[in-house]
Amino acid sequence: MKYDIIIVGAGPAGMTAAIYARRANKTALLLEAASYGGQIINAHKIENYPAEPHISGFDFATKMYEQAKELGAEFRFEKVIAIKDNGDTKVVSTPSAEYECGAVIIATGSDKRKLGVAREDELVGRGVSYCAACDGAFFRKKTVAVAGGTRTALEDALYLADIAEKVYLIHRLDKFHGAEADYERLQARDNVEFLLNCEITALNADKKLESINVKSKDGSTQTVEVSGLFVAVGRVPENQNFASVIDLDEKGYAVSGEDCLTKTKGIFVAGDNRVKQVRQLVTAAADGAVAATAAVKYLNS
Amino acid sequence: MAVIKVTRDNFEAEVLKSDKPVLADFNADWCGPCRMLAPTLEEIAAERDDVKVVSINIDDEDILAEDYGVSSIPCLVVFKNGSEVNRSIGLRPKDAVLELLR
């Protein structure tokens, strides 16, 4: 069977696109590598989505999923590895199948960026974490480090300062662009120590993380004893498999405007994997609506 | 079979002394990925008679979590004859969870 629209990624952008596609009476298949919801399921509490003053990420994602299902969207849990443009027909491939459709919406979002230090993968769940809200509770009254200079890094450090005995914030620069307010709040905490202009060069562990080696720009090095390391060095858009049909910028984001169009007719992008200023739940959902509406218009023309 | 709730009181009997391999799910109510993983584990428990699936709440059983070095959830640990033989962290598709049991 040929679908009208295939949506790659079942996060808030993809599921919103499915809702709009179905309401326009187009068949819609969502292909998702892991589970519906995307990164929002990690959010303990969402408090900035209009008309939902307090909701957990899991409940939010589940409500969206149920809404899309009820409208007749189809979900399959397979990772998309390629998209081929044959004009009026697009072919979307997963490791186990090929699906045909008239239009594709790429809403793959982004994945955590790794620190890139030896043993990082091996120590995930043994001291290394990418989610302070998820794993912070394991480090009550312990010493932890946060790596990164992003707003998330500062928020993580603030959150952990309430739980942990001591928090080191390690950043390779000495400035926090766009997060000065959080930086000031952190400076007021007695149990937060800043290691600025510093890089983590090694993770030392037997079974669990025990310490990290930190090297400063001035050349000095030190070993810092920590039980936990929270990595918050940004995110990477998941567009690698689609470079043949969409243009990517130097950071890997899909080049597109607010219209969600790409260089290929009938292929659209929506959500965090697109070049944009604001990456929030509500803007991801907005993209889903814009992309689906554009896809419907394309199919009807 | 259903997923069995395990505490420090029945951990030894249900996990360490189990005659079947045990798939232990360390989780918490507030953990979104854990809740997302739960239906997969329920399916496996229902489909596989040769495996016992247990759930351990890390807030109630912080000592078990500490003993087994769990510092990130969801954390799946496979036990055979009382010893850990496999482990994975984070939300995994069903195929990947079944792979842990191979």
Question: Is 90 exceeded by the pLDDT of residue A244?
Answer: yes
Q: How far is A86 from chain B (nearest CA, A)?
A: 31
Q: Where are the domains of chain A?
A: 2-112+235-300, 128-231
Write out chain B residues lying below 8 Å of A11, CB-based: none
- The whole-number average pLDDT for the span B22-47 is 94
Can A260 be counted among the known catalytic residues? no
Distance from C-alpha of A195 to C-alpha of B49, rounded to nearest angstrom? 53
Asked if B32 and A77 come within 8 Å (Cβ–Cβ), the reply is no
pLDDT grade for A34, boundaries at 50, 70 and 90: confident
pLDDT, position A143: 98
Asked if B73 and A135 come within 8 Å (Cβ–Cβ), the reply is yes
Can B75 be counted among the known catalytic residues? no
ipTM of the complex: 0.80
Of B69, B71, B87, the CB nearest to A135: B71
Going through A96-243 in order, the beta strands assigned E by DSSP cover 98-106, 110-112, 128-129, 143-147, 166-171, 192-196, 198-205, 209-216, 221-225, 228-231, 235-237
Asked if A135 and B72 come within 8 Å (Cβ–Cβ), the reply is yes
Query: Would residue B27 be called left, alpha or beta, if left means φ above 0 and alpha means ψ between -120 and 50 degrees?
Result: beta
pLDDT in tens, A108-151: 999 999 999 999 999 998 899 998 888 888 899 999 999 999 88
pLDDT grade for A252, boundaries at 50, 70 and 90: very high
pLDDT, position A149: 93
Going through A125-197 in order, the beta strands assigned E by DSSP cover 128-129, 143-147, 166-171, 192-196
Count of domains forming chain B: 1
Asked if A61 and B73 come within 8 Å (Cβ–Cβ), the reply is no
Task: Give me the catalytic one of A59, A88, A134, A259.
Answer: A134
pLDDT grade for B48, boundaries at 50, 70 and 90: very high
pLDDT, position A133: 81
- A128-231 folds as FAD/NAD(P)-binding domain (3.50.50)
- Quote the domain boundaries for residue B22: 4-100
pLDDT grade for A297, boundaries at 50, 70 and 90: very high
Residue bearing tokens 């799910």 = B25
CB atoms < 10 A from the CB of B5, how many? 13
pLDDT grade for B1, boundaries at 50, 70 and 90: confident
pLDDT in tens, A211-222: 999 999 999 999
Question: Is 90 exceeded by the pLDDT of residue A47?
Answer: no
Distance from C-alpha of B69 to C-alpha of A207, rounded to nearest angstrom? 8
pLDDT grade for A229, boundaries at 50, 70 and 90: very high
Beta carbons of B52 and B21 less than 8 angstroms apart: yes
Provide, rounded to the nearest whole percent, the portion of chain A with pLDDT above 90.
86
pLDDT, position A287: 98
- The whole-number average pLDDT for the span B48-75 is 94
- The whole-number average pLDDT for the span A68-89 is 97
Q: How far is A219 from chain B (nearest CA, A)?
A: 33
Going through chain B in order, the beta strands assigned E by DSSP cover 4-5, 22-27, 52-57, 75-80, 83-89
Asked if B72 and A138 come within 8 Å (Cβ–Cβ), the reply is yes
pLDDT, position A283: 96
3-state secondary structure of B32: helix
Of B28, B71, B91, the CB nearest to A127: B71
pLDDT, position A152: 87
Write out chain A residues lying below 8 Å of B72, CB-based: 124-126, 129, 131, 134-135, 138
Tokens of A265: 């007719």
pLDDT, position A44: 78
Angle at A122 between CA B87 and CA A221, to 5 degrees: 150
Question: Is 80 exceeded by the pLDDT of residue B77?
Answer: yes
Question: Is 80 exceeded by the pLDDT of residue A85?
Answer: yes
pLDDT, position A215: 98
pLDDT, position A125: 86
Question: Is 90 exceeded by the pLDDT of residue A35?
Answer: no
- CATH architecture, domain defined by A2-112+235-300: 3-Layer(bba) Sandwich (3.50)
Write out chain A residues lying below 8 Å of B59, CB-based: 137
CATH of the domain at B48: 3.40.30.10
Beta carbons of A107 and A270 less than 8 angstroms apart: yes
pLDDT, position A207: 85
pLDDT in tens, A169-189: 999 999 988 788 889 999 999
> Could you tell me if A57 lies within 8 Å of chain B, comparing CB atoms?
yes
